Chains A and B, each alone.
Chain A
Amino acid sequence: MDTDLRKKYWNENLKYLSILLAIWFLVSYGFGILLVDELNTIRIGGFKLGFWFAQQGSIYVFVILIFVYVRLMNKLDKKYGFNED
């Protein structure tokens, strides 16, 4: 298999990973923990925003992140001809 192609594929994969993991970190450790007091001054309905991110929002974002990753990778696999089936 073409090593150059593999390297390019891997680098694009790593780029996706770093972006997605940055968001993962931001919503949980950022919004839910480190910035929770600042965000708690903002309210959405009955929820203080920081509390909402810690107990609800971060989990929704986690689910979305994985499905975005699945889509991106399926496309990437096709682009490089590494898809199965």
Chain B
Amino acid sequence: MSDVQIWTYVLVALSFGLYIGIAIWSRAASTKEFYVAGGGVSPLANGMATAADWMSAASFISMAGIISFAGYDGAVYLMGWTGGYVLLALLLAPYLRKFGKFTVPDFIGERYYSKTARVVAVFCALIVSFTYVAGQMRGVGIVFSRYLEVDINTGVVIGMVIVLFYAVLGGMKGITYTQVAQYCVLIFAFMVPAIFISIQMTGNPIPQFGFGDTLSDGSGTYLLDKLDGLSTELGFAEYTSGSKTTIDVFAITLALMVGTAGLPHVIVRFFTVKRVRDARKSAGLALLFIAILYTTAPAVAVFARTNLIETVSGKEYGNMPEWFSRWETTGLIAHEDKNGDGKIQYVAAPEVNELTVDRDIMVLANPEIADLPAWVIGLIAAGGLAAALSTAAGLLLVISSSVSHDLIKNVLNPGLSEKGELWAARISAAVAVVIAGYFGINPPGFVAAVVALAFGLAAASFFPAIILGIFYKKMNSQGAISGMVVGLCLMLFYMLKFKFGIFDGGQEAVAGLQDDWWFGISPEGFGSIAMVVNFIVAIAVNTFTDDPPEDVQEIVENIRIPSGAGDAIDH
């Protein structure tokens, strides 16, 4: 076994042992502990847990790679997945905390005094969470298979068992404290290689500054200028300029921001703190913890891209370093000597280009490309697993509470005892893990595509209903329900038409449909349009129907004032 593998086994085993230990220590004894960790989580712990919950396998493994191939356009993810926290902190978290219930459908159902509204919200929450969780389980499997050389399916099963253990046993309480540990693991694993490489390339230990610094070779050239030069030389777009249209960048950023603010597994985290002011503060801390990774990722993207071009472009295939062949066997990087000269041509033109690179390699293989020590390489696996498991657990909790609390307790069987509900929650969590694992092992081809669209769905359904519920006292159930239904259906229609080509003969037709995009907006950005439509429909229907009852308007008045949140949770 190589050094790298030994380190990987040791670090992964240590981190898993830690998670299991925390799970045993923090078992949930009541539904309140299971759903919202008893409502007594400190802002700092909640901030870290939210950050881990939020940063998924995609943030950890894929994002820097996506940026490194997208250049400026990568900003849609950077701004989109952080800017949503401003909306969350200013427009949602404090009020939902004051409202003080367990789930997002709880809020929708009570604010709009309607079981239909609650069921619609449960449906939206399940669609969003299931699409998202399948991707996480797949991520767990991939990390296992690449680093520990176990089969992907075995990897998924190991991941399932771990999540099952602490989600079913500890509910939100177990999840919260494991997420705190997972945040520490993942941020350490992400930062250490980034700092190493930043010092190597620019002599600056802070990656955020390093990628705007001059190269350490003494030439005085700025790193970004060098990358721009290399990119154009090889026929790619200039790194610091984009190739998407401005309107599409705008729409995607907005859809991701609003979607972030509307994701139930993120919102529910703010139910776990004690006071309204803690909800505000923990949103700020969460974004701070997220920003550490999100401001480093674009630096990693630049380092990795420059390193890759310099290592491979125009070089002899036979002289490639060891990592090249190691990652070739995983299929993440491939070379086809088209002109038979024994060198690697890496250029934009597809007929001449001889190198195909999976974007995930930019984070996974980055430490090896930069020739870092074995323990740093081993960290990446532990970090990737922490990111995937923490997000999966948060999503599973939303799924289980939507079923046990919103469907079973509030709609189907209101007479259910507290103990019965806790069992229902545990069983639905277990069933959800198994379903998620099934999708992880047999991923429907569209998982990756759908994860990005989960944001569009959240933006199109929840966000307007919650905002109107707080800021528009006279909003009634008819308006909110029609808004959610129209928004969701419109988003689903656009996704099926332009992402899957369902109405035009399937996946092959998708590329040809680009010219028909409405307003030139891609399916990823369409959530912002569907959101606006949701708002318009909701307000229009509201004007022609009756005002909500007085007591509901009183609830709205009440959630706007922070004092008394302690009482709200138990009523």
Contact = CB atoms under 8 A, between A and B. Distances in A.
A48 B565 CA distance: 46
A84 B565 contact: yes
B253 A63 contact: no
A56 B74 CA distance: 12
Given A44-B212, A45-B222, A65-B86, A28 B253 contact: yes
B284 A47 contact: no
Contact of B277 (A28, A36, A51, A70): A70
Interface string B550-565: 0000000100111111
A54 B75 contact: yes
B352 to A, nearest CB: 29
Interface string A18-57: 0011001000110011101000100011111001101110
Contacts of B298: 55-56
A70 B47 CA distance: 14
A55 B78 contact: yes
Contacts of A60: 291, 295
B86 A66 contact: yes
A1 B558 CA distance: 10
Interface residues of B, number: 51
Contact of A1 (B83, B94, B284, B561): B561
Main secondary structure of the interface of A (DSSP, over half): helix
Interface residues of A, number: 45
A66 B85 contact: yes
B86 A55 contact: no
Given A45-B222, A46-B223, A70-B280, A56 B295 contact: yes
A85 to B, nearest CB: 7
B240 interface: yes
A12 B169 CA distance: 44
Nearest to B294: A59
Closest 5 CB pairs of A and B: A46-B222, A54-B75, A66-B284, A46-B212, A55-B298
Interface of B: 67, 72, 74-75, 78-79, 82-83, 85-86, 89-91, 94, 208, 211-214, 222-225, 240-241, 246, 249-250, 253-254, 275-277, 280-281, 283-284, 287-288, 291, 294-295, 298, 557, 560-566
11 contacts: A1-B561, A6-B557, A34-B250, A46-B211, A46-B225, A54-B75, A60-B295, A62-B291, A69-B280, A73-B94, A74-B277
Given A46-B212, A46-B225, 5 more contacts: A33-B253, A46-B224, A58-B82, A66-B85, A84-B277
